[in-house]
């Protein structure tokens, strides 16, 4: 068979060798299609001088595609099988934006039981996938086109990678035929994603598709973390009839346990110590009852990371809230005065808060995080819940150390007095602390609270006392913009649960177009926007470092009017006496609602001034 180029010759010889006769050829420049069923000649019979009648591209620019004659028994293509495999993994939603380089996947999703959630920006899609992984421990999946589509995913994928959320990114790619030729929208996706992914591969042949999809899921669950599959559009369209892998026989989550001897040794050290404090992180998120049982046995205060806020009821006698700059003072007081600290499910960044000579027991599923920042006396590598199930029965009941607990409680009472003052502060412009307490008064006990990054974050984590609510944030990368996508994901996963996004004007404005996604998908999220007209957290950092305020202020639109123009409900609050009534109406609505609160731009959460 005569062909017009070595590249065309490769395709013709390949398809003839496996018994395929292509009927259609697509111009990879403008997408015009040469259909042999409608044209007088087969494509192979066209002269080398043939050019695309639409854009003038040469014959070598055409890519074979379409149904394979003589192989009518195969009804599915690579994209269909990839989606079928994802369905078997329990994937319910895929978030993203369609385009030329992922259309076979989009069509496969359309024919499946998976719900495609169209977002206004790929960053939203990646944040939604990350939030889904954090909230459910199940695989979150996002999808993009080639070029700018996949680069727009990066921030949300970095959030998943650094917060250890299982996520798979399906990134459309130019036809495999043109990889490495600097084609339109081609970038080296493997090189782009490799620095922060657990697994990054290209589906370069049909018979690779299911194996690579399986491996991507396995690696996403391993740490957990991010997997990325680059999917050239021509490969997605090729036929494939392989059977998918059975997840129960191929995908397993790690259940790591320390040795019984190590657990017994840790229990002995704990039992010998008088003043013990507990610090629980994200790894202990499924261990609330065990943490409380341990605290009650030891009569020990228990602090959490910001990510683990809400794992235990913060009205509990021994709860001291979040430890660190984002939390209240009593948590630092508890750690400062203890003799032994039990760190559970956290890599622990707060070594600067530890007094000299303190003993440490640390439990984490990742061996690299045990003793990462501090020396430990007993290190237990294992899943927090499984380890606590064996450790807690070995712990002896202690008498309460009155001096130790009374010292912590004195600071705790001071903090509760601050909260009481916040709840009655009717200053205008409205105090951020008053907004937090108004949310607390009106939110459901089982609500999911998705908190964005900004000055309001400090107010929330210092002053909101969780009594059954679950909280989620962008923790390790601390990215603004996380709150709104996370709330969309939460409402999809938990449609009968109240979902509240607590965000600043800076973070919300970054991805605010996706409020329309809430309206379109009928997701009755509640968005509380702290509108102070500036990046107040950055202003605080400038003051800390003795810089003048600069480059942190901006004009805002009327966010309430924006919400109404999107088809949702919007409220603007300038009088603090109106806030409770408006929140009550918004929280009781079955529609997406936005409450914009005009906040005092000068009132900031406490910061730490650098001592030079």
Query: What are the tens digits of pLDDT across the range 568-588?
Result: 999 999 999 999 999 999 999
Question: DSSP per residue over 328-350, as a string?
Answer: -HHHHHHHHT-SEEEEES-----
Q: Mind listing the pLDDT tens digit for each residue in 109-160? A: 999 999 999 999 999 999 999 999 999 999 999 999 999 999 999 999 999 9
The pLDDT of residue 181: 64
Distance CA(336)–CA(324), nearest Å, equals 12
Residue 548 has φ and ψ, to the nearest 5°, of: -75, 155
Q: Name which residue leads in pLDDT, 70 or 319.
A: 319
Residues 428 and 314 grouped into a single domain: no
Last residue of a domain, one of 406, 441, 471: 406
Q: Residue 176 gets which letter from DSSP?
A: G
Same domain, 207 and 291: no
- Can you give the pLDDT at residue 182? 67
Q: Does residue 315 share a domain with residue 220?
A: no
Residue 202: inside a domain, yes or no? yes
Nearest-Å Rg of the Cα atoms of the chain is 28
Q: Write down the mean pLDDT value for the chain.
A: 91
Regarding whether 184 and 312 lie in a shared domain, the answer is: no
DSSP-assigned states of every residue in 269-320: HHHH-SSEEEEE-GGGTT-HHHHHHHHHHHT--EEE-STTTTSS-TTSTTEE
Residues 190 and 321 grouped into a single domain: no
Residues 188 and 322 in one domain: no
Judged against a pLDDT cut of 50, whether residue 10 lies above it is answered with: no
Give me the pLDDT at residue 609, please: 35
In which band, very low, low, confident or very high, does the pLDDT at 5 lie, cut at 50, 70 and 90?
A: very low
Residue 14 reports pLDDT greater than 80: no
Virtual torsion, Cα 108, 110, 114, 117, nearest 10 deg: 120
User: Among 247, 274, 300, which residue terminates a domain?
Assistant: 247
> Does 608 score more than 90 pLDDT?
no
The verdict on residue 480 lying in a domain is yes
Residues 54 and 82 in one domain: no
Q: State both tokens at 400.
A: 């309460």
Q: How many domains does the chain have?
A: 4
Q: Taking 50 as the threshold, does the pLDDT of residue 325 lie above it?
A: yes
Looking at the domain assignment, is residue 232 inside a domain? yes
β partners of residue 171: 144, 230
Query: Is residue 415 in some structural domain?
Result: no
From 197, 180, 167, select the one nearest 232 (Cα to Cα): 180
pLDDT above 70 for 173: yes
Say whether both 439 and 477 belong to one domain.
yes
pLDDT of 249 above 80:
yes
Give residue 20's pLDDT.
Answer: 45
Based on the fold, state whether residues 442 and 306 are members of the same structural domain.
no
Q: Which domain holds residue 376?
A: 260-406
Regarding predicted confidence, which is higher, 14 or 106?
A: 106
In this prediction the pTM is: 0.89
Band (501; pLDDT cuts 50, 70, 90)? very high
């Amino acid at each position: 068979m005569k062909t017009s180029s070595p590249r065309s010759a490769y395709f013709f010889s390949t398809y003839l060798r496996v018994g395929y006769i292509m009927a259609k050829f697509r111009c990879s420049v403008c997408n015009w299609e040469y259909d042999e069923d409608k044209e007088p000649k087969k494509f192979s019979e066209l002269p080398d001088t043939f050019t695309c009648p639409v854009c003038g591209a040469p014959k070598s620019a055409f890519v074979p595609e379409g149904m394979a004659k003589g192989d009518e028994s195969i009804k599915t293509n690579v994209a269909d099988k990839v989606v079928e495999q994802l369905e078997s993994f329990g994937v319910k939603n895929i978030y993203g934006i369609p385009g030329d380089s992922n259309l076979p996947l989009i069509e496969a999703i359309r024919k499946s039981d998976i719900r495609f959630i169209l977002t206004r920006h790929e960053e939203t899609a990646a944040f939604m996938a990350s939030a889904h992984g954090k909230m459910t421990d199940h695989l979150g999946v996002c999808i993009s086109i080639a070029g700018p589509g996949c680069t727009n995913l990066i921030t949300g994928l970095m959030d998943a990678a650094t917060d250890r959320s299982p996520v798979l990114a399906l990134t459309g790619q130019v036809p495999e035929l043109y990889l490495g030729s600097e084609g339109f929208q081609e970038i080296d996706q493997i090189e782009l994603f490799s620095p922060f992914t657990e697994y990054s591969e290209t589906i370069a042949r049909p018979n690779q598709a299911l194996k690579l999809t399986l491996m991507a899921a396995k690696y996403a669950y391993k740490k957990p973390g991010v997997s990325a599959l680059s999917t050239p559009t021509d490969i997605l369209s090729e036929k494939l009839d392989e059977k998918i892998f059975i997840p129960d026989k191929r995908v397993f989550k790690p259940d790591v346990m320390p040795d019984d001897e190590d657990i017994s040794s840790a229990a002995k050290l704990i039992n010998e110590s008088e003043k013990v404090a507990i610090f629980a992180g994200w790894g202990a998120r499924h261990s609330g009852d065990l943490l409380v049982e341990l605290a009650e046995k030891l009569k020990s205060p228990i602090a959490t990371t910001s990510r683990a806020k809400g794992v235990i009821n913060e009205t509990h006698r021994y709860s001291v809230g979040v430890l660190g700059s984002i939390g209240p003072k009593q948590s630092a007081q508890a750690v400062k005065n203890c003799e032994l600290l039990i760190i559970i499910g956290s890599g622990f960044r707060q070594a600067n808060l530890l007094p000299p000579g303190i003993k440490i027991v640390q439990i984490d599923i990742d061996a690299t995080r045990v003793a990462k920042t501090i020396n430990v006396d007993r290190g237990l590598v294992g899943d927090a819940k499984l380890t606590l199930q064996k450790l807690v029965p070995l712990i002896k009941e202690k008498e309460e150390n009155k001096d130790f607990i009374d010292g912590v409680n004195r600071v705790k009472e001071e903090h509760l007095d601050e909260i009481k003052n916040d709840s009655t502060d009717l200053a205008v412009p409205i105090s951020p602390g008053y907004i937090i307490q108004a949310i607390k008064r009106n939110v459901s006990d089982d609500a999911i609270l998705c908190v964005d990054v900004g000055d309001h974050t400090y107010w929330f984590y210092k002053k909101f006392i969780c009594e059954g609510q679950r909280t989620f944030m962008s923790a390790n990368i601390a990215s603004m913009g996380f709150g709104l996508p996370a709330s969309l994901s939460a409402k999809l996963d938990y449609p009968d649960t109240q979902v509240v996004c607590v965000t600043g004007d800076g973070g919300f404005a970054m991805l605010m177009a996706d409020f329309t996604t809430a309206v379109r998908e009928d997701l009755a999220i509640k968005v509380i926007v702290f509108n102070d007209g500036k990046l107040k957290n950055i202003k605080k950092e400038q003051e800390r470092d003795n810089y003048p305020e600069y480059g942190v202020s901006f004009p805002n639109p009327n966010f309430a009017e924006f919400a109404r123009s999107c088809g949702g409900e919007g409220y603007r609050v300038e009088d603090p006496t109106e806030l409770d009534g408006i929140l009550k109406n918004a929280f009781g609505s079955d529609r997406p609602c936005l409450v914009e609160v005009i906040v005092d731009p000068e009132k900031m959460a406490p910061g730490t001034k650098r001592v030079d």
